[in-house]
């Protein structure tokens, strides 16, 4: 805990050089993967933060899948597969149904996520979808997003499942 507090204090201090902190953190965590959390690639965290910030600014629902997953986990109903019907779950953590941020945290964010949230990159995207490899495809329109979902969720999984059945 003391190391984590020290890391946050070091990174948050305005006089600190960010490159020095990253080098220190990478050296300490080399080989453990602790610098990179979750399924996001390091360069995408600030872009994802930018999407959520843009949505909040224009009053658009966050529609964040992790909030629905968290709500399902609270009910011991998470089976590892998010379905369209899950998006209608009546729960205050479900950002598809309830506007704004959820009523509480859904995880304990790491430093990289906190930094991304404090330094979001807004490139105009309102949507993103997973490529199933830790990276995402970003879109500015719902039409473009729906095409990305069709490619990276529907067709991707059909090809993957078809290859397993044919093997």
Tens digit of pLDDT for each residue in 25-84? 443 332 222 222 444 677 898 898 899 999 999 999 999 998 999 999 999 999 998 999
Residues of the chain with pLDDT > 70, as a percent, come to 74
Q: How many CB atoms lie within 10 A of CB 129?
A: 20
- Give the whole-angstrom CA distance, residue 44 versus residue 62: 17
Paired tokens of 114: 């906190």
Query: Taking the CB of residue 114, how many other CB atoms lie within 10 A of it?
Result: 15
* Alpha-carbon separation of residue 5 from 2, 12, 17, 108 (angstroms): 5, 10, 18, 13
Containing 137, the helix (H) or strand (E) segment is strand 136-139
Asked if 54 contacts 126 with a C-beta cutoff of 8 angstroms, the reply is yes
pLDDT at residue 137 above 50?
yes
Residues forming beta bridges with residue 127, ordered by sequence position: 139
- d(CA 88, CA 66) in angstroms, rounded, equals 14
């Amino acid at each position: 805990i003391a190391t984590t507090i020290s890391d946050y204090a070091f990174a948050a201090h305005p006089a600190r050089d960010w490159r020095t902190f990253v080098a220190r953190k990478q050296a300490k965590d080399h080989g453990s993967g602790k610098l990179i959390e979750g399924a996001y690639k390091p360069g995408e965290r600030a872009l994802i933060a930018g999407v959520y910030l843009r949505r909040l600014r224009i009053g658009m629902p966050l529609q964040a899948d992790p909030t629905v997953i968290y709500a399902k986990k609270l009910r011991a109903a998470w089976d590892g597969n998010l379905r369209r019907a899950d998006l209608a779950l009546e729960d205050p953590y479900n950002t598809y149904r309830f506007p704004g941020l959820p009523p509480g945290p859904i995880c304990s964010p790491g430093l990289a996520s906190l930094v991304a949230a404090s330094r979001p990159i807004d490139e105009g995207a309102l949507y993103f979808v997973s490529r199933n490899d830790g990276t995402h495809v970003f879109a500015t329109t719902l039409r473009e997003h729906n095409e990305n979902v069709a490619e990276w969720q529907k067709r991707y999984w059909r090809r993957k499942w078809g290859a397993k059945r044919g093997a």
